[in-house]
Amino acid sequence: MAPENSKSVTAIYPGSFDPVTNGHLDLIARAAVIFDRLVVAVARNYDKSPLFPVQERVEMLEAVTFDWKNVEVDVFEGLLMDYARARGARVILRGIRAVSDYEYELQMAMMNRKIEPQIETVFMLPGEAYSYLSSRLVKELAQFGALPKGLVPAIVEERLRTKVG
Ligand code: PNS
Concatenated DSSP letters for the chain?
A: ----TTSPPEEEEEE--TT--HHHHHHHHHHHTTSSEEEEEEETTSSSS-SS-HHHHHHHHHHHHTT-TTEEEEEE-S-HHHHHHHTT-SEEEEE--SHHHHHHHHHHHHHHHHH-TTSEEEEEPPPGGGTT--HHHHHHHHHTT-PPTTSS-HHHHHHHHHHH-
| Å from CA of 1 to ligand 1 middle | 31
Q: Which domain holds residue 37?
A: 10-164
In the chain, which stretches have pLDDT less than 70?
A: 1-6, 46-47, 165
89 in any annotated domain: yes
**Is 42 part of a structural domain of the chain?**
yes
For residue 138, give the CATH number of its domain.
3.40.50.620
pLDDT for res 164: 86
97 is catalytic: yes
* Annotation marks residue 48 as catalytic: yes
Question: What pLDDT is recorded for position 6?
Answer: 63
**1 found inside a domain:** no
Nearest-CA residue for ligand 1 atom 17 is: 79
Does 132 fall in a domain? yes
The total domain count for the chain is: 1
pLDDT number for residue 45: 76
Give yes or no for residue 46 CB within 6 A of ligand 1.
yes
Assigned domain for 3 exists? no
Q: Would you say the CB of residue 106 lies under 6 angstroms from ligand 1?
A: no
pLDDT at 154: 97
